[in-house]
Amino acid sequence: MTTIPERSDIPDDHKWDLSPLFKDDAAWEVLFKETEGKVSGYKAFQGRLGESAEVLREAIDFDLSVNRALERLYTYAHLRNDENKTNATYDGLFQKAVNLYARIAQASSFFTPEVQAIHEPVMQGFLDDKALAEQRFFLEKILRYKPHTRSEEVEELLAMSAEAMGAPSRIFSQLDNADLRFGTVKDNKGLDHELSHGNFIAFLMNPDREVRKAAFDTYYAAYENHKHTMGASLSASIKKDLFISRAKRFDSTLSRALFSDDVHESVYTNLIDSVRGGLAPLFDYLKLRKSVMGVEKLHVYDTYVPLASDVDFFMDYDEAAEVTLDAMAPLGEAYVETLRQGLFGGWVDRYENRGKRSGAYSSGCYDSSPYILLNHDPKSINSLFTLAHEAGHSMHSHYSRTTQPYIYGDYTIFVAEVASTLNEALLGRHLLEKYRGNKTMETYIINREIDNIRGTLFRQTMFAEFEMRIHAMAAENKPVTIDTLTELYGSLLTDYFGETLEIDDILKLECLRIPHFYSSFYVYKYATGISAALDISGRILKGEDGAIASYLNFLTLGGSQFPVDELRTAGVDMTRPDAVNNTITHFGHLVKQLETLLS
């Protein structure tokens, strides 16, 4: 029987190198104590922010220096913690970092209300002062929050509650990543394999339907056994968001979530309306899949297996990295060389180990590499695309942090998914060229692109509608229980997949296993991101003049503009439905291509 390896069994060159952040844990403790000692320094500025532009600039610089150190501490602690969720030492470091974050937020809680209390003519003079030229947009964003900022006392109390407010997410993460056990599944050779988050999708891609069904049933049985706990944690997270939005005088949790990016609610609702109105090509695809597979009823565990049945895909990390680099060639030599140094030079934690956080991400801070966590499965083409996806995030971080000052070094998630998904689009086109004339591989790749859009546009939009509706239920003081969660989710599954998919009752528990629901109204950005990315990549691949330059410029903007404005510099206006509708049209064309190849 194959088992998940321990962290100590993973070769060092397959792990990320965190030594540029801190030489060792002792160095982390030194900076922790230094930063902890600076918390009291905020008192020197309290009540003085309106004295002059110079004093305000000094206070901003102090706050940024403290937070810059905090981000280094937090980044190291959370990366180490994610290496093995059962490692108590790094769980302790992570908790210390989170606690310090809460104390810094409490100590600096006077900052925003005090800035907002500065008399308007005085503040206008500050904004026009050369001493605050670099900080102008930073201050303008603070001033936007004036209607949603409470008294200093209330803001301090809210800041004090931050650590406790994070409990639902932490409880879910520990249960889902450390405590949950999924048992074993037999493959089509009769060998037992330990089932995990990391290999679940690989099992669903198995050509043997009995193996797929067994993996699906076994996986969801774990959620069935813990559904009341997970339902309670998700409900608590939703109510936490509702409390904060009301405390901050927002009309809803949705309006609060969109406010920081200056995204109008119509962008969110138009996405749902466009996708709901464009489900026909999705139904066509599922009908085609059902016909090709020759099944009487199509279940969700039938929707991951490639329709090109005789492809034996295998690509270890090194080869996957080389293919990804080749695919990024349209973005220029400098982009590719920087990415090469990262992928082979310590950015990436490559393979699954016991206790490691599931999934994949790109993470870091202004003073670190843009690290990538993977659970690479050589037998899954999805792992290849995941590598390209996370590489897009990391290169976006690289360009932003090497171009912008610290104050604007981070970009928002709204634009983040553009860079990652554009890389996936370039990889898809590269693979079609690589395997041109190989009908089986062409089928395999187009099928994979269809499934990517299905998962990123249609499925994430369904998630977005679920969030919107469940948060609305909480706002209307309706109970948010395991029954209401699964009943709503089940109805959306029926709406989004029609009569083309058999909805297994246990699939309703899927809403309990989505980590992003603990970062409310996050998932819609995947859907808008893929729409914008396909628009930009399409122009790049067509050789449109200026397309590459405008995209690379977009990557450098960091947080220096609001995200909708940044996308306009890359040629996409997300306040209009065009990009989403064009993506649905593109999906329809791909389905027709696939139908032709399969016939």
Domains of the chain: total: 1
Interval 12-29: pLDDT, tens: 999 999 999 999 999 999
- Which pLDDT belongs to residue 100? 96
Question: Looking at residue 460, what is its pLDDT?
Answer: 97
What average pLDDT does range 42-70 have in this prediction? 97
- How many other CB atoms are there within 10 angstroms of residue 132's CB atom? 18
Q: How high is the pLDDT of residue 152?
A: 81
Q: What would the two tokens of residue 347 be?
A: 């950015």
439 within a domain of the structure (yes/no): no
**How confident is the model over 567-589, as pLDDT tens digits?**
999 999 999 999 999 999 999 99
pLDDT value for 159: 85
| Mean pLDDT, residues 433-450 taken together | 91
Whether residue 150 is contained in a domain is answered as yes
pLDDT in tens, 73-85: 999 999 999 999 9
pLDDT score at 344: 97
Residue 20 belongs to a domain with what CATH number?
Answer: 1.20.140.70
What residues pair up with 152 in beta bridges, in sequence order?
Answer: none
The whole-number pLDDT of residue 346 equals 95
Residue 129 maps to a domain: yes
pLDDT of amino acid 479: 94
What is the value of pTM for the model shown? 0.84
Given pLDDT bands bounded at 50, 70 and 90, which one contains residue 476?
very high
Whether pLDDT at 202 is above 90: no
Torsion, CA 7, CA 11, CA 15, CA 18, rounded to 10: 90
Tell me, yes or no, whether 574 lies in a domain.
no
Evaluate whether residue 104 is within a structural domain. Answer: yes
Catalytic residue among 71, 390, 442, 449: 390
Q: Could you tell me which residue, 188 or 172, shows the higher pLDDT?
A: 172
Residue 141 has pLDDT above 90, yes or no: yes
pLDDT (0 to 100) of residue 23 = 96
Q: How many CB atoms lie within 10 A of CB 26?
A: 8
Strand order through the sheet with 371-373? 348-349, 371-373, 361-363
Residue 72 lies in a domain: yes
Mean pLDDT of the chain: 94
Angle at 47 (CA atoms; ends 45, 50), nearest 5 degrees: 90
**Average pLDDT, stretch 178-204?**
90
Contact 485, 470 (CB under 8 A): yes
> Does any domain span residue 103?
yes
Say yes or no to pLDDT of 318 above 90: yes
Give pLDDT tens digits for 539-575.
999 999 999 999 999 999 999 999 999 999 999 999 9
510 is a catalytic site residue: no
Neighbours of 346 (CB within 10 A): 17
Ramachandran sector of residue 346 (left: φ over 0; alpha: ψ -120 to 50; beta: rest):
left
Q: Which two tokens stand for residue 566?
A: 């940044």
Question: Among residues of the chain, what percentage have pLDDT more than 70?
Answer: 99
Is pLDDT at 184 greater than 90 in this prediction? yes
Instruction: Give percent of the chain above pLDDT 90.
Output: 88
Domain annotation covers residue 36: yes
Domain that holds residue 91: 7-165
The string of pLDDT tens digits covering residues 97-135 is 999 999 999 999 999 989 999 999 999 999 999 999 999
What's the pLDDT score for residue 308?
A: 84
